[in-house]
Structure 1
Amino acid sequence: MSKRVLVIDDEANLRWVLSEALSDQGYEVAVAANANDGLAAMSHQPADVVILDLKLKGMDGLATLARLRERWPDVVVLMLTAYGTVASAVEAMQRGAADYLRKPFDLEEIGFKLQRALERAALQQEIRYLRQSQQQATIAGLIGSHPVWLACREQLERMIDRLPLLVLVGEAGVGKAQLGRYAHATSQRHNAPLIELDGALLTEPMLVAALNEAGQGSVLIRHGLGWLDWLLDQTLQPRIIVTSLKLPEQPVPTLQVPNLNQRRSDIGLFAKAWLEAQSLSAAALQQLEQSHWSANLPELRHVLERAALAANGQTIQPEHLPHDLALASAEPIALPATGLQLDLVERSLLQQALQQANGNKTRAAELLGLSRHQLLYRLEKHGLS
């Protein structure tokens, strides 16, 4: 399908030349002698490209450009300018024009610049589509219905458009970075870029470059607490979202992100999202909800993936879950009023685990919720190796 071009210029000869030349290049061309006629033509049948004279009589080119950008933000506008008005053409580009053509112009140059502007516009539309798709995926992937999680999200939504800087605080694996992406995707700046950085690997030149690239968007700095003093000394254009394991010492806005143990009723939602077609029995879900999650979401995902493999396509049952989960969900051990010798208790548990596992150290490590390396260290420590 051919692209439609609208030429707005008060010189009849120029309109005719452009109409003939662009028609020969395969474009569908309409012409208008002034701004009002051009805007009326756009209302009747919008064009993909408008070639607009900067020095129109009546409403001039800059004013017409503003009207075009307001009503048809995706239209590509090329400005026509005489030798003495190049500065005004540059100003027009700053206001949204794609390029400018200087009179007297070369017809080949017009064809080249027109094609380049259309390709650039198509690329920008694709970027917007991909960014919107990514934002929708971010929002859809933010799982949870527990009241403490919903309260966290609601507080974030209230804060995000009012603050230039926000610190998300929480344990490892609670989803702070994803929550930061959600904050950008649902904010008034969602059409601008989101730049993500790792604070542990960051240098000052890298951060300066990211701030410039983000413009009116957002910069998400994971583990970025060490950069707070530097950021607070800057005049910031992008919004800054910092994630941290601990509360900052500086008086900055913070939001505490709940851990998985505070929202165990969401485990079923995570299982449904991550297991796809494979189901989870009520008994297995109950055991997961009663377990303690020291590593939060990554630990839960690892457990579910292991259980799915063990179930081999069948419904996941408690016996498919790792053995150490049963220990985690058991009642806490009461400390005797007279106290105890922790080393003796640890030694006794190691001996019992080895006995139950018939000397198999890998199985003994599983019974104690340890890695094989951790078990070997403790066995050597107690002289049981």
Structure 2
Amino acid sequence: MHKKILVVDDEKNMRWALRKALEKEKYVVYEASNGKEAIEKFNSCNPNLVLLDLKMPAMDGLEALKKIKVLNEEVPIIMITAHGTMETAIEAMKIGALDYISKPFEVEELKVTIQKALGFGALKEELNYLREELEHTTGKQIIGASNQLKNVMDMVERVSKTNATVLILGESGTGKELIANAIHYSSDRKAAPYVKINCGAIPENLIESELFGYEKGAFTGAATRKIGKFERANGGTIFLDEVGELDLGMQVKLLRVLQEKEIERIGGTQPIKIDVRVVAATNRDLFSMVEEGRFREDLYYRLNVIPIQLPPLRERKEDIPLLVNYFLEKFSQEVGKGKIMLEDGVAEKLLQYQWKGNIRELENVIERMVILSDGNKITVNNLPKEILVAEIREEFLLPENGLFMEDLEKNLILQALERTDYNQTKAAQLLGISRHTLIYRMEKYSIKK
């Protein structure tokens, strides 16, 4: 894609000379004869770089520079200065101009200055990419060796080399965002922008402006133009998390983007072509929502080009020990503890638990146990109550002929006391009751050590 350059100069001959020189270098050139016209052209053509003369009628270069920086802080701007305007050029650099070039100048000098400026913009994009890549590779890895996870990663490898829209399905906490990250960072777009948005976390009245942006004056409070998420992701990938939370009105607008490959800012009059790879995710059953009329069928099929179903953690239990070891190491380092081990029986209970919150729940449980553990060993007493209660529910089934609740309660109290060597505080924790309640019930059932 050829870079776009906006040339702003009140001298017609200068604009003509710059256009001819830059078009030979395969740049797309736009022209403006003063600062006011420059703002209008900038809004319409969204250039990659601006060549801006300092001395112009209607609106001078400094004023135009300030207004362009409000519209787009990142765009590189090169000031064109004349003899005796050096101090003004330095002032422009302080405001935000990237560089300046003094008249008269050689065409080759201008070309080098432009290349450096565009290279600087590319470097900023690369740094942003590297920051996200670092985040991706440190502390946010995909852990597991189960066949289910291998099948998912095989699918990721196959689809990442395409531009196909992907729909990631799975329960909350299964790692849908990590899979979206893997798709982007394994694709040819990995050096381009990667923009994420949680559709369920933004109020309905704000989601359109977040996705598509708005023009200055589009509504009360719109003091400047805002670039939306789709436009920021141009050339790269946008991740629409919790896409099932979009209302029907936004679904129509998203469908148009997927069909036409263009967006329109709120208050805008011209469609803007975009090249964005869409990855969406949801923990909802979109097919059922379609049948109920809560999700558009045409949008469902647009999103569901390549579906990737993530299995819940309870269906790939062989991955639990790997995840436990990973989180143990991670959180022990964070809290400054040495290597932390699990006491006999703890790992078994972690395997038996159903993990309705999936990997996110497992991560939270390990972090809590590491923080609350004494020394470098996690014991059964460090296990959260919900895991112990779940174990009791699985072990005890109501007999066909029923039972006496008091006998069951007494039996459980005895088990808890024996397991903790009659430590009343620890036994109460195992039972999920207070120590005073335990003492009362011990007296009720005449239980003594």
Counterpart residue number, 1:270: 323
Residues 161, 186 of structure 2: 8 Å contact kept: no
Counterpart residue number, 1:132: 130
Using a 3 Å threshold, how does the CA distance of structure 1 residues 172 and 351 change in structure 2: closer, same or farther? farther
Counterpart residue number, 1:11: none
Distance 1:349 1:88 in 2: 92
Distance 2:124 2:409 in 1: 60
Residue ranges of structure 2 left out of the alignment (5+ in a row) = 8-12, 30-46, 54-79, 87-99, 104-109, 213-227, 262-274, 288-299, 330-337, 435-449
Does the residue aligned with 1:162 lie in a helix, a strand or coil?
coil
How far 1:231 moved relative to its partner? 2.3
* Pairing 1:84–2:16 present: yes
Counterpart residue number, 1:206: 210
How far 1:182 moved relative to its partner? 1.8
Does the residue aligned with 1:292 lie in a helix, a strand or coil?
coil
How far 1:175 moved relative to its partner? 1.2
Distance 2:407 2:281 in 1: 42
Distance 2:123 2:343 in 1: 46
Using a 3 Å threshold, how does the CA distance of structure 1 residues 214 and 320 change in structure 2: closer, same or farther? same
Distance 2:386 2:364 in 1: 13
Question: Residue 265 of structure 1 aligns to which amino acid in structure 2?
Answer: E
Trace 1:61-100 onto structure 2 (pairs within 5 A): 83-88=15-20, 91=23, 92-94=26-28
How far 1:262 moved relative to its partner? 1.9
* Pairing 1:218–2:280 present: no
1:151-207 deviation line (CA, Å, top 9, x unaligned) = 112112222443542221111111112221221111121111111112121622221
Residues 292, 329 of structure 1: 8 Å contact kept: no
Distance 1:306 1:89 in 2: 64
Which of residues 215, 227, 231 in structure 1 aligns to 2:254? 231
Counterpart residue number, 2:157: 157
Which of residues 351, 354, 376 in structure 2 aligns to 1:314? 376
Question: Residue 215 of structure 1 aligns to which amino acid in structure 2?
Answer: N
Distance 1:348 1:302 in 2: 35
How far 1:136 moved relative to its partner? 4.8
Which of residues 110, 119, 127 in structure 1 aligns to 2:101? 110
Residues 268, 285 of structure 1: 8 Å contact kept: yes
Question: Residue 278 of structure 1 aligns to which amino acid in structure 2?
Answer: K
Question: Residue 326 of structure 2 aligns to which amino acid in structure 1?
Answer: A
The higher relative CO (CA closer than 8 Å, separation ≥ 6) is in 2
Using a 3 Å threshold, how does the CA distance of structure 1 residues 354 and 318 change in structure 2: closer, same or farther? closer
Distance 2:426 2:347 in 1: 26
Residues 381, 426 of structure 2: 8 Å contact kept: no
* Pairing 1:281–2:310 present: no
1:324-376 deviation line (CA, Å, top 9, x unaligned) = 424434645446557x79xx97x998898899799x999868636x9x9xxxx
Distance 1:94 1:259 in 2: 51
Counterpart residue number, 1:243: 281
Residues 163, 277 of structure 2: 8 Å contact kept: yes
Identity over the aligned pairs, expressed in percent?
19
Counterpart residue number, 1:325: 387
Question: Residue 218 of structure 1 aligns to which amino acid in structure 2?
Answer: T
Residues 167, 308 of structure 2: 8 Å contact kept: yes
Distance 2:48 2:279 in 1: 32
Counterpart residue number, 1:194: 194
Using a 3 Å threshold, how does the CA distance of structure 1 residues 125 and 272 change in structure 2: closer, same or farther? farther
Distance 1:332 1:278 in 2: 32
Residues 216, 238 of structure 1: 8 Å contact kept: yes
TM-score, normalization: structure 2?
0.52
Residues 195, 218 of structure 1: 8 Å contact kept: yes
Distance 2:190 2:429 in 1: 48
Using a 3 Å threshold, how does the CA distance of structure 1 residues 87 and 353 change in structure 2: closer, same or farther? farther
Trace 1:27-38 onto structure 2 (pairs within 5 A): none
Distance 1:126 1:212 in 2: 17
Residues 99, 117 of structure 1: 8 Å contact kept: no
Distance 2:285 2:252 in 1: 14
Distance 1:296 1:274 in 2: 14
Using a 3 Å threshold, how does the CA distance of structure 1 residues 119 and 168 change in structure 2: closer, same or farther? same
Using a 3 Å threshold, how does the CA distance of structure 1 residues 97 and 281 change in structure 2: closer, same or farther? closer
Using a 3 Å threshold, how does the CA distance of structure 1 residues 349 and 124 change in structure 2: closer, same or farther? farther
Distance 1:88 1:239 in 2: 35
Residues 170, 309 of structure 2: 8 Å contact kept: yes
Trace 1:45-60 onto structure 2 (pairs within 5 A): none
Q: How many residues align?
A: 289
Residues 161, 188 of structure 2: 8 Å contact kept: yes
Does the residue aligned with 2:378 lie in a helix, a strand or coil?
coil
Using a 3 Å threshold, how does the CA distance of structure 1 residues 111 and 82 change in structure 2: closer, same or farther? closer
TM-score, normalization: structure 1?
0.60
Does the residue aligned with 1:189 lie in a helix, a strand or coil?
coil
Trace 1:166-181 onto structure 2 (pairs within 5 A): 166-181=166-181
Distance 1:282 1:364 in 2: 20
